[in-house]
Chains A and B, each alone.
Chain A
Amino acid sequence: MSTGPMDCNELVELVTAYLDGALDPDTRARFDSHLVDCDGCENYLQQFRETVRTVGKITDDELDPAFRNRLLDAFKDFR
């Protein structure tokens, strides 16, 4: 683990840990100070957040009606 300034190719691998609040304090400080000076990485973080938000908007397909009916039949059989 490096202790000097963070490079972009290191930062991009730590974004999920950063968003989870899981970086140790030193690494987090290196991450934050890199972001201050680096538009590319700031944009990368923005892209990552947008990616997470976009995946959050994916909705499941409707249940196959035949399968749904089988589940409801299982309920009737159970009673």
Chain B
Amino acid sequence: MITTVDEVTLIAALRDGDESAFAQLVDKHAAAMLRVARGYVPSHEIAEEVVQETWIALLKGIDKFEGRSSLRTWLFTVMINIAKTRGVRERRDADAAVAAYTGGTVDPARFRGDDDPYPGHWLPDEAPSPFPDTPEGSVLGSELIDVARRELDKLPERQRIVVTMRDMLGFDSSEVVQLLDISTANQRVLLHRGRAAVRQVLEDYLVDRS
């Protein structure tokens, strides 16, 4: 993503010491930063400190910010670096752990067994039905968003960070790979498992509701 015209205006205003420009940027990015930072550090308080340090780093570096990356990418890059220095969690073996896990993301009991003429295909009663259309602002639509949010918060931390960045915040695959310093394959595995878990709770919710 490249720097947008709005962002250029805000950054120019920030260089001139415009507090409202700073407030606008904080309102746009700080909540998402906090959400991601929380995955790296042991407490909400430390996540807030990390986010605060990131904004101070921006203020210190604003004259040198050239807009080669979007401001958001810059903020997340700096923030994740700061968070890593404050994090207490061991993640050196994390990539290996992702690769080692080979379980499926759909309950194997939903598929026909090896003794069936069509092994690995959906059992008749287990085949998925389409999710209903949910117009903007519909009651069901809001319910599903709440269900998805609760499940997102419960995902294992690395899945949660990847799904948040890709699907909630709209980062593209290459940005996430670079920001999180993980392989493309592992990024996809984490994203897929996280999405599959959210899909399952949405399906359960819709079945129970009907």
Q: Which residues of A contact B (CB under 8 A)?
A: 7-10, 12-13, 15-17, 20, 22, 38-41, 43-44, 46-48, 50-52, 54-58, 60-63, 67-68, 70-72, 74-76, 78-79
Q: Is A74 within 8 A of B56, CB to CB? A: yes
In the complex, chain A residues whose CB is within 8 Å of the CB of B188: 16-17, 20, 22
Q: Is B120 within 8 A of A8, CB to CB? A: yes
- Nearest 10 CB-CB pairs, A to B? A7-B120, A40-B127, A60-B31, A16-B192, A40-B122, A55-B167, A50-B131, A51-B199, A43-B128, A9-B120
> B74 at the A/B interface (Cβ < 8 Å)?
no
Q: Is B26 within 8 A of A16, CB to CB? A: no
Give chain B nearest CB distance to A25 CB in angstroms: 18
Known pairs A20-B173, A41-B122, A75-B19 / 10 extra A-B pairs, C-beta < 8 Å = A9-B104, A15-B192, A46-B131, A47-B130, A54-B145, A55-B168, A68-B26, A70-B48, A74-B55, A74-B59
For B127, B141, B191, which residue has the most chain A Cβ atoms within 10 angstroms?
B127
Beyond A8-B111, A16-B191, A20-B173, whether A63 also contacts B27 by CB under 8 A is yes
- The answer for the CA separation of A60 and B34 in the assembled complex, in Å, is 10
Q: Is A47 within 8 A of B167, CB to CB? A: no
Beyond A54-B144, A54-B148, whether A63 also contacts B30 by CB under 8 A is yes
- The answer for the CA separation of A70 and B120 in the assembled complex, in Å, is 56
Q: Is A60 within 8 A of B35, CB to CB? A: yes
In the complex, chain B residues whose CB is within 8 Å of the CB of A61: 31
**Can you name 24 A-B pairs with beta carbons within 8 Å?**
A7-B119, A8-B122, A9-B106, A9-B108, A13-B104, A15-B192, A16-B195, A17-B188, A20-B188, A43-B128, A47-B202, A47-B203, A48-B196, A51-B198, A51-B199, A56-B168, A57-B141, A58-B152, A58-B168, A60-B35, A68-B27, A74-B55, A75-B19, A78-B56
